[in-house]
A and B are shown apart, each in its own frame.
Chain A
Amino acid sequence: MMRYVWKIAAALLVYYSLVAGLTGEVPRMAILNETIRNIYFHVPMWFTMMALFLVSLIYSLKYLSGSSPDHDLVAAEAARVAMVFGIAGLLTGMLWARFTWGAWWVNDTKLNGSAATMLVYAAYFILRNSVPEKQKRARLSAVYAIFSFSLMIVFIMVLPRLTDSLHPGNGGNPAFGSYDLDSRMRAVFYPAVAGWILVGLWILQIRIRTRKLENTVSI
């Protein structure tokens, strides 16, 4: 029973964010206009990516302490699904930037930081593919995953706060202050984030199970 509950919750939370996100009241702001609703759809992509990279980090640490091949498999697949959500975040962000900041890509710390994060994790897969020996590959990529997760935190959480950024909440104060997101939006935003993270974990679970099936078949 519990095996299905969180999947149903994922569906309901995202459905709720679709309906409430498009029809609910939002603050009226110049330039942003109705695009402020993108917060419900664009930002959860990044949160899901970060949650999945966190899963990848945790399982990399688990691998290093126990050397179980299953932990390596979860770490790799979590990073892979995270990349998909990162691509979605980049593309939705580019479209949003085109119509509010005026260009598909602007020289903003957070934009460049997120792109750099994706490249750092692209290198993770290149590293994985370039080591044929399984145990060596798992150990090397687990160490690299710790490094890349730390870089991600610096690139998208620390650096944008140190300098000026077009993203709200950066350049000093943390995001989601009272000025950025009012309570009506929070009531949609947080369920949207929770829903998308659960959807991400569902996709991750499907990928892990597929890989395990592959492994049993090939033995």
Chain B
Amino acid sequence: MKKFQLILALCMTCLPAFAQQGVDMADTMRSEGKIYVVVGVMAIVFTVVLVYLVLLDRKIGRLERKIRNRAGT
């Protein structure tokens, strides 16, 4: 009886694992694959956008100062 209970308990613990195996996920890509390359590419894209925003921000700041100085004199 005890043995049977043990087997039953073991089977139960396996159930979630079986349920998960049915769905395809890119596990290999992340464990040993190249998902970090994708992270890197997206980070670069976002960095480029950010740098552009910063440059615009600074350019507008310079223009604002220029106009403020001109108005002051």
Contact = CB atoms under 8 A, between A and B. Distances in A.
Sorting the interface of chain A by its residue count into under 10, 10 to 19, 20 to 34 or 35 or more gives 20 to 34
A202 interface: yes
A7 to B, nearest CB: 8
A18 B39 contact: yes
Contacts of A23: 30, 35-36, 39
A43 to B, nearest CB: 17
B60 A14 contact: no
A7 B24 CA distance: 38
Interface string A120-152: 000000000000000000000000000000000
B66 to A, nearest CB: 9
Contacts of A209: 60, 64
Interface of B is mostly: helix
Interface in A11-54: 11, 14-15, 18-19, 22-23, 28-30, 33-34
Given A23-B36, A210-B60, A213-B63, A28 B50 contact: no
B56 A28 contact: no
Contacts of B64: 209, 213
